[in-house]
Structures are given as structure tokens and as C-alpha cells.
A and B are shown apart, each in its own frame.
Chain A
Amino acid sequence: MLTPAEKRKHAEVLLQHDQSKMAHAMAGSLIAQANLGDAITGNEPTTADHCYIDREYPLLGKCRYEGGRLVQIEHPWANGQITVCKQAGIDVAFQWSADPAAGMDQGELLRIWIGTKDAGPRLQWDGRTGKWQRLISNGNYGNNWACGGTWRQDKPLDQREPLYYETLVEADPDIAGTIARIRD
């Protein structure tokens, strides 16, 4: 939960990078929330020096945001590592929320896909549940091994719900081991 002063800072940083109509409307909403909070408590309106939001993600570790923008990643997944991963037959794709309409959730990681050269998309992490699930590709992934083409969730024939895994190691120890070696 952000303080009114932090909400004002978030709005200020948001508008430094984005001048769209949505960014202006969202910043206005945050400032209005902050003003209402200060009016109720009787505090003088102020703006914080920083408004950091910390989130923790698989593979990337601790990520720090300001104004909906990533300012720090514990394990930066740089292009070099992706190249090494691809040489090992594994591709990783990250889907980020870039829309200011997401408000305080702007910039958060929505999904991670991991695929192999031989089998296409194999694993998906969902930001809403924070869990991994296995995928089976229909084979039409082309050069996009991580998330190309179409796929289905891997689940036992006698079950309606797919299986969810708390960690990448539980979902696929082989892929997790290879990625951990390259990342660390």
C-alpha cells in the first residue's frame, strides 16, 4: 500500500516517460487518491523522493520498479544469456505489462514461456497464480521455440485441471538445471 506522497511520485515518474492520454488520466487518478488521503488525515500534501515497488519473479529474482518502469533486476536476463540458452537448445520469452492502464501494476511480469528447439513451448509461468505449468506444442512453433504456434496444457487424461508446479525445478528439473547453470 503506497502513501499519498508515494502515489504523487509514482504519477510524476509515470508522466516523465509517457505523455499519452491514458498516462495523464492514470496520473490524475493517483494524484486525486493522494489528495483525498491527505484531506482525510489532515496532512500537508507532499511528494516522496522515491516510490519503489519491489516484486520477485522466477529467473529474474528481485525486480524494482518506479513509475511503472523497471529500474533494477537482480539477475538481468541480458541478450548474451539468451544467446547461450539458445545454443543449448532452450529459448525463454518474457511478457511484460507495458500499458499505463494497469495503474500500479504497470510494468509487472505477466508470463514467462520456456521452450526447446526439439519440442517447442514446454513451460509457462503465470504472473496471476505465480505457478508453472507444462505445455505440449502442436508442432507449429517455427523459429519461436518459447511461445510460437499453438499448444495445450499437459494434464493427465483422467483429470480436468492441468497440474500446477510451485517452482521451475518441480515443473522440469532438466530445463531448470540448464537455465540455472547459464544464469548463474
Chain B
Amino acid sequence: MSDEHKKQDSPLVKLMQARLKAAELRVRAAHQSSAGYQRQAANPVYDGQEAVCMGKAAQVDALSAKSSAQADLIDAEADAEYTAATGKEAPPKC
């Protein structure tokens, strides 16, 4: 196996790949913003729109929380795999 392939399969690269996947999920979570629905709920243009918009905002918030939780899970699993493979603690994120 070439050095390049060894590097691609190293525990550190696998950890960083997982962290990138988690970071992209956090970007998705940030996109899933309910701010627009909340603004509209504060200024309803017809009777009942406030309830409709608050419902939509709750759905978007739930999706965002799910994406964030998935990102945290990926991070935690990747850190554990790195520790199992190397016997060392995973390097800090920053």
C-alpha cells in the first residue's frame, strides 16, 4: 500500500472526515431557521396565521435540533473510534 493510501486510511484522516461531515450537518441546522415563521407569527395577516406559523416554526426548530444532534453523534462516534484505534484521546476540534 502506498504512503498516500496509508494516510487516507489513517485514524486521524477518518476522524477529520467525520468532523467535516458533522460540520456540514451543523451548517444545515443553521439553514433550518424558524426566524421567518416567527416574524410572520408576530405580524399575522389573517385570523389564525399566528398559530399556523408557530406550528411551522416548531417543525423547523425540530428539524434543526435533529441535524445538530446527528452532528454531535457523528463527532462522539468518531472520537471513540479514534481512541479505540490509537489508544489516545482525539485532538481538540479547533
Q: Which of A33-41, A48-56, A68-76, A143-151 contacts B (4 or more CB under 8 A)?
A: A33-41
How many A-B contacts are there with CB distance less than 8 Å?
Answer: 57
Number of A residues near B (Cβ < 8 Å) is 18
| Mask of B26-39 contacts with A, CB within 8 angstroms, 1/0 | 11011101000000
**A28→B26 contact, CB < 8 A:** yes
Which chain B residues lie closer than 8 Å to A41 at the CB level? 7
**A32→B16 contact, CB < 8 A:** yes
A178 to B35 alpha-carbon distance, docked (Å): 43
**A29→B26 contact, CB < 8 A:** yes
| Mask of A16-29 contacts with B, CB within 8 angstroms, 1/0 | 00001110111011
Number of B residues near A (Cβ < 8 Å) is 21
Contacts A31-B94, A36-B13, A39-B12 given; indicate if A22 touches B30 (C-beta within 8 A).
yes
**A29→B7 contact, CB < 8 A:** no
- Give B residues with C-beta under 8 Å from A: 7-8, 10, 12-13, 15-17, 19-20, 22-24, 26-27, 29-31, 33, 93-94
In order of increasing CB-CB distance, the 7 nearest A-B pairs are A32-B23, A36-B16, A25-B30, A32-B20, A29-B23, A22-B30, A39-B16
* Interface contacts beyond A32-B24, A36-B20: sample of 6 additional A-B pairs, CB < 8 Å, sorted by A: A25-B27, A29-B20, A33-B20, A36-B16, A36-B19, A39-B13
